[in-house]
């Protein structure tokens, strides 16, 4: 999950636009919400489907997918208008 976090912190401010400091702060906020809140919840959902996965691995898989989804959503919003 952490490589996806690092790439997101490099790419997301570019997609957000505006001033560099504000865009970096906004991107970091989105990334931290995903890592701290959504990744553990996604890990729980993933463990229901695959109970053989350890909890930390399931949270890591879910977090990485959600970080990619945030970047994809920002890209889609940027392309839409």
Q: How many domains does the chain have?
A: 1
Closest C-alpha among 44, 43, 47, 45 to residue 1: 43
In the three-class reduction of DSSP (H, G, I as helix; E, B as strand; rest coil), residue 5 is classed as: helix
| pLDDT number for residue 73 | 95
DSSP state, residue 81: -
Which residue range is the domain that position 75 belongs to? 2-80
User: How far is Cα 44 from Cα 53, in angstroms, rounded to an integer?
Assistant: 10
pTM: 0.89
pLDDT tens, position by position, 20-52:
999 999 999 999 999 999 999 999 999 999 999
In the three-class reduction of DSSP (H, G, I as helix; E, B as strand; rest coil), residue 53 is classed as: coil
Distance (Å) of CA 75 to CA 3, 11, 15: 19, 10, 6
């Amino acid at each position: 999950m952490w490589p996806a976090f690092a790439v997101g912190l490099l790419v997301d401010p570019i997609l957000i636009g505006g001033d560099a400091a504000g865009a970096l702060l906004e991107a970091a906020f989105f990334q931290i919400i995903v890592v701290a809140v959504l990744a553990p919840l996604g890990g729980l959902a993933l463990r229901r489907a695959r109970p053989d996965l350890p909890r930390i691995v399931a949270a890591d898989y879910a977090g990485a997918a959600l970080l990619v989804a945030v970047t994809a959503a920002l890209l889609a919003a940027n392309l839409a208008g």
